[in-house]
Amino acid sequence: MGTLYTTTGEVVEAQPQHGEAFTLAEAQALVGGYIEIVPRPRWATNLAFWRTHVVLVDEDGRLRPASQVCEQRLFGVALVLTRQEREATMSAPDALRHAM
């Protein structure tokens, strides 16, 4: 349901443990810390990606090696959800919505 971009350049599909939505604890475990939403960079050339996806990272990821998501260099592991996946996640019980 989500795509995980690692600091080694690996791209891995990530599935929630129960159902179609990630819990806050699952998302935090995937990125390795507290969740932060990455805003669309002003210089982004791939606006279609940024309109249809949400990128989540560890708020303290600057202390980790970088990963690359759609022309954007991010620090730490990044979890990318489509807007539909985000909506499903936010409407689930024990939802990730507390972080978004």
What pLDDT is recorded for position 30?
A: 92
pLDDT of 24: 84
How many structural domains is the chain composed of?
1
> What's the confidence (pLDDT) of residue 14?
93
Domain range for 15: 2-98
The model carries a pTM of 0.75
Angle at 3 between CA 72 and CA 21, to 5 degrees: 125
- The pairing of strands 78-82 and 2-5 is antiparallel
Which strands, in side-by-side order, build the sheet including 53-58? 11-14, 2-5, 78-82, 53-58, 35-37
- The pLDDT score that the predictor gives to residue 90 is 65
Please list the pLDDT of the chain residue by residue as tens digits (100 residues). 899 988 888 899 999 887 778 888 888 999 988 988 888 777 777 778 878 888 888 888 766 666 666 666 777 788 999 877 877 766 655 555 555 5
